[in-house]
Structure formats: C-alpha cells, structure tokens
Amino acid sequence: MEVLLPISAGIKTPTSSARKLQTPVSGSITGLGATAVSSIALPLAFMVTGLVALFTVGVWLMVQPEILSTYHYSPSAVAITHLFVLGWLCSMVMGAMYQLIPVALETKLYSERLVLPQWMLHVAGFIGMVLAFRVWNMKFVGWFGSIFATGVCLFIYNIIRTLLRIPKWNVVALSVTSALAWVLLTITAGLLMTAAKTAHANFMFHFNPLGTMHTHAHLGIVGFFTMLIVGVSYKLIPMFTLSEMQNGSRAVASIVLLNIGLVGSLFSILLQSIFKPLFALVVIIALAIYGWEIITILRARKRRALDWGVRYFLTAIGLLVPLSLLALVLSWPRLPLNPFTGQLENVYGFVSLIGVVSLAVIGMLYKIIPFLVWFGAYSKHIGKAQVPALAEMYSASLQLLGYWLFLVALAVTIFGILISSAMIVRIGSVLFAASLTTLAVNVGKILSHYFRPKLTPLVAPKKFNAL
C-alpha cells in the first residue's frame, strides 16, 4: 500500500539526491544538520558570557553616564567599549557563528574541540583587557590582548577550515571570509596601537593616534560586524520569512563594494585623507544595494506576519540609513573639530554598536538561544512526546515590550549625548536596563526548558483501520 501526497508526482525516484537514514533510532546523531549543534553547551557559554558582559555595561553606564556625555578618548570610555564589543558583541557573534555558519553554509563545523579553548582565551583576554584599559596599563592590555587574539586565531582557523568543506562557494561564504579577514586586521591594528603606547612599535607614531583609533573601530564595526550582518541575512531573512534570494548578483555586488569601501576607508581614515567621504560613499552604496535586496526578499515573502525576532533585526538594518548619513557628515574633511563634533562621533559609535549591531544580535538571539535549548531539551523526544515550538518557549509580549523600550532608550540616550547631558544619558541607560530586563526574563524562560522540559504525551490516532 502506498499513499502519494500531491507533491509526490514531482519526486524523482530516490537517487543521489536522497539521503537514506540508516542510523538506528537510538543511534548517535551524525547527520548533516545535527552536526551544526552537536554540542550546545559551548555556543550557549558564549551567549551567557555575552549577556553577563552586556548587563555589566548597563550597570556601569548607569553609575558613570559621563562616559557617553563627554569625549570618547578616556580610559573609562575605551574600557567600557571593549567590554561591550569584545564581551557582549564578540561573544554573541562568535557563539552564534558556531551554530549559524554550518546552517547557512550547509556543512559541519570543522572542530568542536577548538571551541572550548577559544572560549577560555576569549573570556580571560577580554576581562583582562577591560581591567587593564580601566587603569590604563598598556603593558597588561598588550598581554591580555595577545591572549584574546590567540583565541580569535583559533576561531578564524576553525571557520576557515569549515568554509573549505563547502562544495559550492556562495555569497554567504564570501561575506564570512571577508569578515574574518577584517577582524584579523582589526585585532592586528589594536595590538600595534598597544605596542606603540609601550614604545615597541615606533613606526606607529607616524600616524595620528585618533586616526588609528578610528581606523581600528571602523574595521571592527563595519568590516566584521556589519559584513556578517549583511552576508548572513542573505540566508536567514529568506529562511525566517519563507522567501528566496531575488538577485544573487546584487548580493555579491554589495559584499564586493563593501570590501572596496573598507579598503579605501582603512587608508583614508588612517591617513586623514580628503578621500574619506568618497570611500564612505562606496560603503553606503554597498549598504543601499544590500537594503534593496532585502526589501525585494521581503516583498516576495510567503509568510506575511513577521515575528519580533525578525523585526528586531530589520529595525537594526533600517537604522543603517541615518547612520550612513551621519557617517557621510563625519567623514567630511572640513568638519570643524569642536565639542559638538566630538558628541556626533559618540552618537555614531553608539548607534553603530547599540542601534545596529546589538539590536540585530538581540533579534538573532531570539532565534538562536531557543533553538539551542530546544535542541538540548527536546530533540530526543520528538516522535515520543509533544514538544513546544520555539516561539512557545518565551513571552512574545515581553519581547514586544523590550523592543519598544529599546528604541525609546536609544532615542533618549542619543539626545543626551548630543546635548552632553549626563542626566539624560542616565535616564536612557535606565530604559536600556528595563529593555534588557525583558530580555533576561525571556532568556530565563527559555533556559528553564533545558532544566524542566515541558512534554505532553502523544495522542493515540483516533482511527485505526487495520489492513
């Protein structure tokens, strides 16, 4: 007896395109997809590390709001920025990449063994760096920075070896490779700056210190984080909205132009050249092409309702528009160097790191953490009991509240920075803390499934028509 469902008319007889499952029911998970997350503990460790760092930043800003309401070249500003970027963003992005890259590239991670040592080097490195920056001990910054860099090299090696496994190169692989190159350059620049301050790299004195700092920041924010957001969203946005990439050439063009803009910006910012606006414009054109493709993907989507995880992500992308305009203004060579310009630079850094990268990360976090916990708690129960959907593992109302609180906090803090008001920045920080509390409660709800899975028995079929 055989039942052919409507689609089966188009199925080819199982051949090479079919993968026959031969493992026994109780056998080990060794298939294509499951290898992506064979161990959920380590990606989760990165994410918990990231959340702890984020809350530490929130508390720090509430206690010391002057960090944002005054110019950003101070030990506290540099320390908190590294806590935010390395502790929160890098932890989240690296943890997510260990899970997402195999999914996005349809392969398996090269080595799970390398993840634990990287996490240990990562945590030891960034905590040491933040403390050393806080007391402005550049020798310690160099030591802990080298520990952190060693961890990043393990990460890069693992991802590169993973990329070498993919049968067909695509735009996601191109963007990930680019991002890895840029993060390596960012870290090299950081270590060279540290070496210069401890008099081991005298050639660095040829460059303007602010120029090198801005180059370092720019490479990290645009080269690593933005590049990854752009590339990975070409896979994830169609996947989450039931759509398809509309124009592959357009997607590739956005990555290529982003790389060209980054190379130009690297030299023009470092050398304080008059070509800064030109290369800023190239980056903006790349992002515009990216936005164009995302809009066409969304227009072609089959799932009309967008979940809030996706909305967080799309809002972050939308914030690239005002950010790009601000970038163009700040790149202008004849811009007067006054306190207001300094505050505009603070706004630029703040919107980049919090408005764009963090909001995008939180959106993806609402996808990744439920999946990792679900995989650990429920995957072995499928077919044996009824298990919850990912969206049932947390509160959508809290997610919505967190979204609006985040946007209000962003607006209030930007206003506080612009008028150099520590009080308003503190109010913004409190609002951010409220938004992050909704996130913390939801993460707690999600993690509770890991310790107390919510299973209900399968219902026996009503009809049992024996043959």
Partner 1 sequence: MSATPNESVVLETLSQIIDPEIGCNIVDLGLIYRVAIVEGIVKVTMTLTTPGCPMHESISQGVKSALLNLEGVTGVEVEVVWDPPWHPSLMSEQARIALRVGNF
Task: Name the site residues for partner 1 (rule: CB under 8 A).
Answer: 1-8, 10-12, 14, 17-21, 23, 25, 29-34, 36-37, 99, 102-107, 239-240, 242, 301-305, 371, 374-375, 378-380, 382-384, 386-392, 458-459, 461-467
Angle at 92 between CA 342 and CA 52, to 5 degrees: 80
Please state the closest distance from residue 196 (CB atom) to partner 1, in A: 44
Please state the closest distance from residue 248 (CB atom) to partner 1, in A: 16
State both tokens at 209. 């210190």
Nearest Cα neighbor of 213 from 199, 196, 198 is 196
DSSP 210-238: HHHHHHHHHIIIIIIIIHHHHHHHHHHHH
281 burial type by CB count under 10 A (0-12 exposed, 13-18 middle, 19+ buried): middle
Please state the closest distance from residue 103 (CB atom) to partner 1, in A: 5
Cβ–Cβ under 8 Å, residues 422 and 65: yes
Please state the closest distance from residue 305 (CB atom) to partner 1, in A: 5
User: Rounded distance, CA 315 to CA 273, Å?
Assistant: 33
Cβ–Cβ under 8 Å, residues 298 and 346: no
161, HSE (Cβ side, Cα atoms, 13 Å): 12
Q: Which is nearer to partner 1, 338 or 456 (CB)?
A: 456
Please state the closest distance from residue 88 (CB atom) to partner 1, in A: 24
Q: Which is nearer to partner 1, 139 or 384 (CB)?
A: 384
Q: Which is nearer to partner 1, 102 or 145 (CB)?
A: 102
Please state the closest distance from residue 382 (CB atom) to partner 1, in A: 3
Q: Which is nearer to partner 1, 249 or 456 (CB)?
A: 456
Please state the closest distance from residue 367 (CB atom) to partner 1, in A: 8
State both tokens at 313. 């992500």
Please state the closest distance from residue 435 (CB atom) to partner 1, in A: 25
Q: Which is nearer to partner 1, 23 or 247 (CB)?
A: 23
State both tokens at 262. 């980054």
Q: Which is nearer to partner 1, 175 or 420 (CB)?
A: 175
Q: Which is nearer to partner 1, 8 or 249 (CB)?
A: 8
Cβ–Cβ under 8 Å, residues 99 and 372: yes
| Cβ partners under 8 Å of residue 135, min gap 6 | 75
User: Rounded distance, CA 65 to CA 73, Å?
Assistant: 15
Q: Which is nearer to partner 1, 22 or 202 (CB)?
A: 22
Q: Which is nearer to partner 1, 336 or 461 (CB)?
A: 461
DSSP 63-91: H-THHHHS-S-SHHHHHHHHIIIIIIIIH
Please state the closest distance from residue 35 (CB atom) to partner 1, in A: 9
* Dihedral sign from CA coordinates of 154, 156, 159, 165: negative
**End-to-end Cα spacing for the chain:** 9
